[in-house]
Structure 1
Amino acid sequence: MVSQQRLNQWRSQRDLWRNALQRPLAQHVAWWQAASQYVQIEDWLPLQDAIDRLLEEQVEEEPADASNLSEPIVIITATGAKLCDRNHLFAAYTRLIRAQQKALVEPAIETLRRQQQLILDAIGDGVYGVDLQGNATFINPAAAQMIGWEPQALIGKSMHQVLHHSRPDHSPYPREACPIYAAFQDGIIHRVSEEVFWRKDGSCFPVEYISTPMRDEQGKLVGAVVAFRDITQRKWAEAILQRTNEELEQRVRDRTIELQQANEQLKELSELRSRVVTMVCHEFRNPLNNILLSVSSLERYGAQLTPEQKGHYLLGIQDNVERMTQMIDAILIIGRVEAKRIEPQPSQFDLIPFCRDLMAEIAGEIQHPRLQFTCRFKRLLVTLDQCLLRSILTNILTNAIRYTPAPGKIQFKVLKQHHQIVFQITDQGIGIPPEDLPYLFEPFQRGRNVSNIAGTGLGLNIVKRFVDLHGGQINVSSQLGQGTTFQVSLPLHLPVCG
């Protein structure tokens, strides 16, 4: 690198100059005179050395005037000599430094860009960016996959029109009301958890999302970044949990009602038990007193009593024991019904021979003409519990016989009405007082006009319970001193279990 003065000196000393350039001067003179602009040097190392030397000379020797700064400068490189001035040299140097910095920075920027892209690609949530017009500037694969689009196809599109155009009920969703766009208008982060995004195929899915405003280096809003998540599975789990909770609450309510009903039943049973115990004690007192009196008489006066008298006392003891046995059996049956240990066991059978056989059993104890059976069917198939039905009819028929003095008659009719079988038993007995009818089926309830007629007061209670087990009805009508009619209606066919 030489100044103009040194160049003139070298021109006067051609041999020295030729040696310095190591090339014929004629090859360069014309180029020197024409060169007015800097020509970029491929090998920048000599230029760097030249700048360093030039700066050192500027520090050591201040130029006499500013015109020296524009003196031509010769730069000798491995490929030859080139001519420029200082201004062009500094401009070239500036461009060179910038090129060096760019060469160093661009790989780092590219590396950072790749890292950012890898992070976006690896995120499982959907992420996309929009500019101030709401058009997509970038979108990660997860977001594109969730809405059924290719990522590149979304760049530049209005994301509101793509995935947020409608509400869950398919009504339009105005862009002005969208929290995503509000983020780059008010500069506030918006979080939403009860909306839907729409897929390309027209289906939608529930999402929660956050819209965060984006700013440039000067803090100016330039758009927004939206991160969203498909919460279909969570909503499904929440729905199941909600339904499970509701079912559990309903079960708790049902169980509470059952427990309340059970408590009421226990209370009723407790009251019934107390009443039964009281009634049993009362009802057992008479038979026991009779037995005790008979035994005492036999013990005290046995020697003076005739065989007939002794037989009378023994027969009284036997009758009272049987009465107590019947009461015990009846109480046990009531207890089993209350505990739901008796359930109907229906089976199909012909009702006509069943009723005739029952009449024959009962008629053996009375004169046959008093008991009359009527039915217009010769064959009538039913599906009922034979044991329970036998107990129902036997109790009513024996009561009719017991409370009907001879020669009063008892009529037993069997009717078929729609899908029901009706048993009608009418007697010509003493009848039931009207004030006793409402309590007729209560335990240990007997008409006040029964006098000394034997009975436990439990038979009709058992009848009512057995009729209820069949899902039937029992009705009674009576006229005091003229007779009583019992009517029992049962389903023609009960479902057969198993």
Structure 2
Amino acid sequence: MLEVFIQQTQAMRRHVEMLHALFKSATEGIIVIDSWGEIQLVNPKAQELFGYEEGELLGKKIETLIPQKYARRHVDHRMNYAQQPKARNMGGHFDLQAKRKDESEFPVEVSLSPFSTSDGDYVVSFIIDISLRKSQETALLEANRQIQNLNTDLEERVQQRTRELARALEELELSKQEVMRALEKERQLNDMKTKFVTIASHEFRTPLATILSSASLIGRYSLSEEEDKRQKHVQRIKSTVNNLTEILNDFLSLGKLEEGQIRNVPVVFNLPEFCRELIDELRSVCKENQHVQYSHEGEAEVCIDRHLLKNVFINLISNAAKYSGEGKDIYLKTHKNATKLTVEIQDRGIGISEQDLPYVFDRFFRAQNSGTIQGTGLGLNIVYKYIQLMQGDIRMESKLNEGTKVYLELPT
């Protein structure tokens, strides 16, 4: 029995010596603490890592090796760990910092292993200084950042060159469009000149012949009892001159619109008074027993370009009178609210066919049923452009032989 005891004692001594040698020569720092957090064992590598002499750390709290800003929190973590101790690695979700004797800090990796003896519960900590790895990671991150910056710079340069190319192409396209617009405008001007010559030769010839004929006949009626005949021809001359003036005004207005000489200049005025004065002026264009019936709703004052609105009303009411028979009234209705003016002009004239209605605002367009009624085909086109200048809207409803209704909406 004594021999067996001696052999066991020698084996245990060898194991202790081997553990002691391993503890002393380990390349990792090893620190053993008790359940109160006091340091019981420190191997040479740990002393070297933390800058302490042999024996200096024994009996001190493990928080001695923790930076001050984390020490209080570490006490809570240690106490929680003591409730359910188990082998684990620390710092999985964040970097761990340790504190040397000279108060300097360095990054570490720590793994914990709990064990128990007859003296009580203990925890052994294995500590590795990862400063070199961190510096390499930092260098790698910096290299990646520089590469990323280079890539970003390269991408920005590529994007800049792409934008410059896109601008150049856009400018080229704009130049092309400007040339095309200039050519189209020149074509339109040539078309307008051609149509003007055609219309002028047709529209002017008949009125001038009428004026010449009436002027010649007036000279023959020298007797006082022939005064009625003279006045008849005088009225014919006046009416014909008015038609010629209307044609010339259309061409002049169109020219000013094309050159951008007409501007929208809103002013405040009383709309019902304006409409009644205008209706008095237009009595001369109305046929026998033909009247303009006017009604207004809402506020009286509006803020609109008075000159443009007058031209629009004159054109639309004149058209209504021109294309309506004798004794058929024209209806003008206006309604003003806080944001807009609504206008409705209605006649009971010859109307416009469904096929012609989409083109009524086109330049030089005349409906197929206009017959011998004089006109240039410019009036409604000019009205449309005036409404656009005033930032309004115009639309038309019509049926053959039932009449036409024009709706205007203008901001006030």
TM-score range, shorter chain: 0.5 to 0.7
Partner of 1:344: 264
- In structure 2, distance between residues paired with 1:372 and 1:354: 14
Please give the residue correspondences for 1:328-477 in structure 2 after superposition, counting only pairs within 5 Å: 328-362=248-282, 370-377=291-298, 379-416=299-336, 419-450=339-370, 453-477=373-397
TM superposition shift of 1:330? 0.8
SS at match of 1:262: helix
- CA change 1:296–1:281 in 2 (3 A) is same
What are the equivalent positions in structure 2 for 1:50-449 lying under 5 Å apart? 165=141, 196=146, 205-206=149-150, 243-295=163-215, 306=226, 308-362=228-282, 370-377=291-298, 379-416=299-336, 419-449=339-369
Q: Distance in 2 between matches of 1:162 and 1:303?
A: 118
**Offset at 1:408?**
2.4
Deviations 1:147-206 (A, max 9, x none): xxxxxxxxx9999856554676x6xxxxxxxxxxxxxxxxxxxxxxxxx35xxxxxx754
Relative contact order higher in (CA < 8 Å, ≥ 6 apart): 2
The offset of 1:263, in angstroms, is: 2.5
For the residue of structure 1 that corresponds to 2:297, the secondary structure is coil
CA 1:418 to 1:160, structure 2 compared with 1: closer, same or farther past 3 Å? farther
Q: Is the contact between residue 204 and residue 244 of structure 2 (CA under 8 Å) also seen in structure 1?
A: yes
Query: Any unmatched runs of 5+ in structure 1?
Result: 1-155, 171-195, 198-203, 208-230, 494-498
Q: CA deviation at 1:392?
A: 0.8
* Equivalent position amino acid for 1:267 in 2: R
Q: Which amino acid aligns with 2:292?
A: L
- TM-score of the superposed pair, with normalisation by structure 1: 0.47
- Give the match for residue 407 of structure 2: 487
Instruction: Give 1:427's aligned amino acid.
Output: D
CA change 1:164–1:251 in 2 (3 A) is farther
Alignment RMSD: 4.0
Structure 2: which amino acid aligns with 1:474?
A: I
- Is the Cα–Cα contact under 8 Å of residues 409 and 428 in structure 1 kept in the other structure? yes
Kept in 1: contact 2:285–2:321 (CA 8 A) = no
How far does residue 426 in structure 1 lie from its aligned partner after superposition?
1.4
Alpha carbons of structure 1 residues 436 and 243: separation in structure 2 relative to 1, 3 Å: closer
Q: 1:361 to 1:279 in 2, by over 3 A?
A: closer
Q: Partners of 1:449 and 1:337 in 2: how far apart? A: 28
8 A contact 1:351–1:382 mirrored in 2: yes
Q: Deviations over 1:110-141 (max 9, x none)?
A: xxxxxxxxxxxxxxxxxxxxxxxxxxxxxxxx
- The percentage of aligned residue pairs carrying the same residue is 27
Cα deviation, 1:348-403, whole Å, max 9, x if unaligned, reads: 444344334333443587699933222231x2554321111111112112222333
Report deviation, 1:332: 1.1
Kindly indicate whether the alpha-carbon contact (under 8 Å) linking 1:284 and 1:324 is maintained by their aligned counterparts in 2.
yes
Letter in 2 for 1:487: Y
Unaligned runs of 5+ in 2: 1-131
Q: Number of paired residues? A: 279
Contact 1:475-1:488 at 8 Å conserved across structures: yes
1:455 Cα deviation (Å)? Answer: 4.4
Specify whether residues 160 and 245 from structure 1 end up closer, same or farther in structure 2 by C-alpha distance, changes over 3 A only. Answer: farther
Q: Any idea what SS the aligned residue of 1:478 has?
A: strand
Larger Rg: 1
Separation of aligned partners in 2, 1:206 and 1:434: 67
Report the Cα distance in structure 2 between the residues aligned to 1:413 and 1:245, rounded to whole angstroms: 56
- How does the TM-score come out when normalised to structure 2? 0.55
Distance change in 2, residues 1:267/1:376 (3 Å): same
Contact 2:210 2:237 in 1 (8 A): yes
Q: Is the 8 A contact 1:474 1:486 kept in 2?
A: yes
Provide the secondary structure at the position in 2 that maps to 1:376. strand
